[in-house]
Chains A and B, each alone.
Chain A
Amino acid sequence: MVKLEFHDPSGTLEVTQQHAPRLASLEGKRIGFVSNEQWQAFRTLPLLKTMLEADFPGIEVLPIDAFPQGNAVIGDEATAKLVKQSGVDAVIIGNAA
């Protein structure tokens, strides 16, 4: 038998930060959207807002334009700062394609 050994070409990944902790429940929470304003986000995100408000008592879902929108700005530190200052418990980010 001939044995060939060779390198895995995919390299390695380094996890340097953890995902945000999940919420215990959605009742009474404050939820925001960070929208890139693409791919029908103006329709899909408001539908999510409606569903969340219908399904969870006391939830507050901010409008989709509560934070700056668009691919050019949603990754900015300034936008992240606004999100933190708003006191939301969680954000939903959309839409990618």
Chain B
Amino acid sequence: MKNAVSGLGLAPDAAMITFPIDMFLPGSDITPLAKRKQEFYDGLTRWKSGFAQSAPGAGPLLSVEGASYEDALVKANNLLLTNLWGDGLPLWPATRERVDWIIRGTVLPRTHLIGKFPPRGGITTVETCAVALAMAGGRPEYLPVLVAAVDAFLDPESNAEQLQAASGSAFPVVIVNGPIGKQIRLNSTFGCLGPDPQRPAGASIGRALRLIQQNVGGALPGIGAMANYGAMRYTNAVFAEDEEGLPQGWQSHAAERHGYAPGTNSVSLVFANGVANIRRRGAKKETAEEDALQGMYRMADFMRTPNLAGLAGYEQGTPGILMIPQVVAQTMAGLGWTKKSMREFLWEHSKIPAAHLRRAGAVAWIEIDSSPVTRASLKLDPWPISAKPDNLVLIVAGGGHPTNSYWLQGYSPRVIGREIRVPESFAQLLADADRDLGCGSDACLI
């Protein structure tokens, strides 16, 4: 709550009376409220803010000393953790030298204000991003993607203010389109949502975004972020669409959803709250047509869920992101499927019988939704999981193997796009990466 208060531009120490969660559950004992009534009265009459305004801009540098570099590094990590600025994994201290190096990756001044990060309202500049990227082990060529992702995150329509604090375990998914994906070694194929030493960019960018969410936005587990589980939050999900694997005639996600021209470097930010692997491929002697159709039904079965958190995106967001590997996309295209026809099929066959909504109490959540379109959807039986098929995000990404597809369950009021701007020196930054990490072209990677 302090985050929400400071996010409004108020001093963060508002008059609040807090109780354990038990009192807020159905049938609870609410007598603790009566025992502490004086605190309410004092809050209305005697309370005073004790917050001291800090100077705008970057704060002073922190300092540690050790008997050796290793000792100092340990102390720096301990300091970051004890100040609640770490994630439990080793961090690079954001030294002036390291931040200055990373700042080379932007066209913007380091003091450029991107926004105030919700719910805490921490002032977020390009330098803020560089500091987080330095801590996350990032490199200068990653910074343009992070800055675009943060800018998308701070779009007022993203509803990030609520998603940061809510219990539903939302995490940002950053889909990158354009040549920059390959250039900076962002994964679009095998293991694209996990660690990859040959394509390490997504882990650093996503981890940096998460550190900003926590340290600047105040999304600290159990304090500022009430996510019950918080999965995928070490690195969020940052990957590139496999544009080279797109079948002929299929548009990229960036072109379909945001209207960006081919070759444009862009991010698309979606919030999700769950992941599921789908065994898509058939097991016996199916024909190609049978394999495709059965796989489509199976994917629709995974989507046919009363995802009540996902109601936030019912009208204009997305019910989720379906990832299919390029080998499946090529097969589907060969059978005449397009991204659009796949979305329409999946939307049609993921509808939920109204009786199932009623027995699960889902109707009440739909009835109280703020969107008239969502409320009106209750007239439909079976009930579609989104207002229209095109809300579904369908991405070609993942290893070139036909067995699985992946479903990232949506919790996303909008799907926010941003173009990525790179500095004139970008080619040099990529050359530096080749020098530091070895050749990054397809010919060199295993």
Please list the residues of chain A having a beta carbon within 8 angstroms of any beta carbon in chain B: 1-19, 22-26, 31, 39-40, 43-44, 47-48, 51-52, 55, 70, 72-73, 90, 92, 95-97
B52's nearest neighbour on chain A, judged by CB, is: A15
B59: chain A residues at CB < 8 Å are: 7-8, 10-12
Kindly supply a per-residue 1/0 record for chain B positions 215-254, scoring 1 wherever the CB is within 8 Å of any chain A CB and 0 otherwise: 1100000000010000000000000000000000000000
B66 near A1: Cβ-Cβ < 8 Å: yes
Q: A13 to B218, alpha carbons, bound, how many Å?
A: 11
Known: A3-B63, A13-B121; 18 extra A-B contacts, CB below 8 A, are: A2-B66, A4-B64, A6-B93, A6-B94, A6-B95, A13-B12, A15-B6, A15-B11, A18-B10, A22-B48, A26-B45, A39-B24, A40-B24, A40-B30, A43-B30, A44-B23, A72-B368, A92-B44
Q: How far is the CA of A15 from the CA of B216 in the complex (A)?
A: 15
Of A2, A3, A17, chain B has the most CB atoms within 10 Å of the CB of: A2
* A9→B94 CA distance, assembly (Å): 8
Quote the shortest CB–CB distance from A10 to chain B (angstroms): 5
Complex CA gap A52/B40 in Å reads 9
Decide if B145 is an interface residue (CB 8 Å cutoff).
Answer: no
Measured in the bound complex, the distance between the Cα atoms of B94 and A50 in whole Å is 54
Which residues of chain B are within 8 angstroms of A2 by Cβ–Cβ distance?
Answer: 65-69, 71-72
The A interface is mostly helix, strand or loop, or mixed, namely loop
Interface residue count on the B side (C-beta < 8 Å): 80
The answer to whether B107 has its CB under 8 Å from any CB of chain A is: no
Most B C-beta atoms less than 10 A away, residue of A9, A40, A97: A9
A2 CB to nearest chain B CB (Å): 5
Give the Cβ gap from A27 to chain B, nearest Cβ, in Å. 10
Task: Pick from B34, B57, B64, B368: contact of A12, CB below 8 A.
Answer: B57
Q: What are the 7 A-B residue pairs with the smallest beta carbon separation, nearest first?
A: A16-B9, A72-B370, A6-B93, A39-B24, A11-B122, A8-B59, A7-B94
The minimal Cβ–Cβ distance linking A37 to chain B, given in whole angstroms, is: 8
Could you tell me the distance in whole angstroms from the C-beta of B321 to the nearest C-beta in chain A?
26
- On whether the beta carbons of A4 and B73 are closer than 8 Å, the reply is yes
Asked if A7 contacts B25 (CB within 8 A), the reply is no
CB–CB B117/A11 < 8 A: yes
Residue among B33, B46, B135 facing the most chain A CB atoms (10 A cut-off): B33
Q: Is the CB of A11 within 8 A of B40?
A: no
- Tell me whether A22 and B46 are in contact (CB under 8 A): yes
Nearest-CB residue, chain A, relative to B122:
A11
8 Å CB interface, B280-337 against A: none
Report A40 CB to chain B, min CB distance, Å.
Answer: 5
**CB distance A12 to B55 under 8 Å?**
yes
A-B contact pairs, 5 of them (CB 8 A): A1-B65, A6-B93, A9-B131, A14-B53, A47-B33
Are A1 and B67 interface neighbours, CB within 8 A?
A: yes
Contact of A26 among B8, B9, B25, B41 (CB under 8 A): B41
Q: Does the CB pair A4–B216 fall under 8 Å?
A: no
* B71 closest partner in A (C-beta): A2
B47 at the interface (CB under 8 A from A): yes
